[in-house]
Amino acid sequence: MNAHRVDSESKVKLNKLSTDDTGDYDPKDDGKDKAQTRTEELLEKLATLQEQLYANAEQALLIVLQGMDTSGKDGTIKHVMSGVNPQGCRVTSFKAPSTRELGHDFLWRVHQETPPKGYIGLFNRSHYEDVLITRVHGLVSDKVAKQRFGQINDFERLLQQNGTTVLKFFLHISKDEQRKRLEARIQNPDKRWKFNPTDLVERKLWPKYLGVYEDAISATSTEQAPWYIVPADYKWYRNLIVAETVVAALSAMKLRFPPAPAGIDFDNVRIE
């Protein structure tokens, strides 16, 4: 069992969970090098598994990435998905809903972006924003948020029952680590484009965000769509845990390359 997986019906307390845990990979020794070597091995497996997933086109994988600003959602996608064929992988980033989207239920725009069979889909932020930022800023009530938890569970169960495996990762960083990453953006001219003054406004709401994340994860980590709380202060360990979990999920699908077309004598095929 993955040590970072949240059991269904568990009550999550994020302040009690380490953000700088590195498991058996000691950063003071050669843990980083070992973890990166292991990650590369996993990415090779991931490339093969993704090709089999795409070739069969019978199942799909949805990866949801959530976390505080600077927790590494973009970096996780860049590193963990570096070896897959872009043809079979789709990344969706959910921004503020448009007027048209607001005219529908909150899951309407999300369902349209779920991966078709044969694909890996990644949500960089997701339908969970509608029970996170909306709640922090008082745009929805606690009653509405609780109702949406149930609707999200039903939605993810629907996906699972129709062949889509759902993995959800909360990239768990400390407030101090966030400060360091924000300062690095300010100090590096090549990174300043990532900085937004609203990041500092949202940072002041850290305790509120922790609270709504705890509620959402506790209410929606289910057997069919579990949450994984990934210590993310060390980027290399974050990448390792996500890669291990994704490879394990794809391996559990028992993927194989489909058989060759029937009626062809491949030993005697000649290409002129």
Q: Please give the backbone phi and psi of residue 111, each rounded to the nearest 5 degrees, phi first.
A: -60, -35
Tell me the CA distances in angstroms from 272 to 264, 268, 269, one per residue in order.
17, 12, 10
Q: In this predicted structure, what is the pLDDT of residue 142?
A: 93
**Overall domain count for the chain:** 1
CB atoms within 10 A of CB 137: 11
Arithmetic mean of pLDDT, 142-150 = 96
Which tokens is 20 given? Answer: 């700088």
Q: In this predicted structure, what is the pLDDT of residue 263?
A: 81
Residue 2 lies in a domain: no
Which tokens is 116 given? Answer: 């078709």
Q: In this predicted structure, what is the pLDDT of residue 248?
A: 97
- Report the C-alpha gap between 207 and 190 in whole angstroms: 30
Q: In this predicted structure, what is the pLDDT of residue 81?
A: 94
- Report the C-alpha gap between 31 and 53 in whole angstroms: 32
At 194, the pLDDT band (50, 70, 90 cuts) reads: confident
| Length of the chain as a residue count | 272
CB 8 within 8 A of CB 221: yes
Arithmetic mean of pLDDT, 187-203 = 90
pLDDT digits (tens, 9 = 90+) for 227-247: 999 999 999 999 999 999 999
List all residues 6 or more positions away from 77 whose beta carbon is below 8 Å from its beta carbon.
Answer: 65, 91, 122, 124
At 259, the pLDDT band (50, 70, 90 cuts) reads: confident
Beta bridge partner(s), residue 170: 66, 229
Residues of the domain holding 105: 14-256
**pLDDT exceeds cutoff 90 at 121:** yes
- Helix (H/G/I), strand (E/B), else coil: 154: helix
Residue 269 lies in a domain: no
**pLDDT exceeds cutoff 90 at 12:** yes
- Report the C-alpha gap between 263 and 70 in whole angstroms: 55
Global pTM reads 0.94
| CATH number where 76 lies | 3.40.50.300
- Report the C-alpha gap between 205 and 200 in whole angstroms: 9
At 107, the pLDDT band (50, 70, 90 cuts) reads: very high
% pLDDT > 90, the chain:
87
- 184 membership: H or E segment, kind and range: helix 175-187
Query: How does DSSP classify residue 120?
Result: E
At 111, the pLDDT band (50, 70, 90 cuts) reads: very high
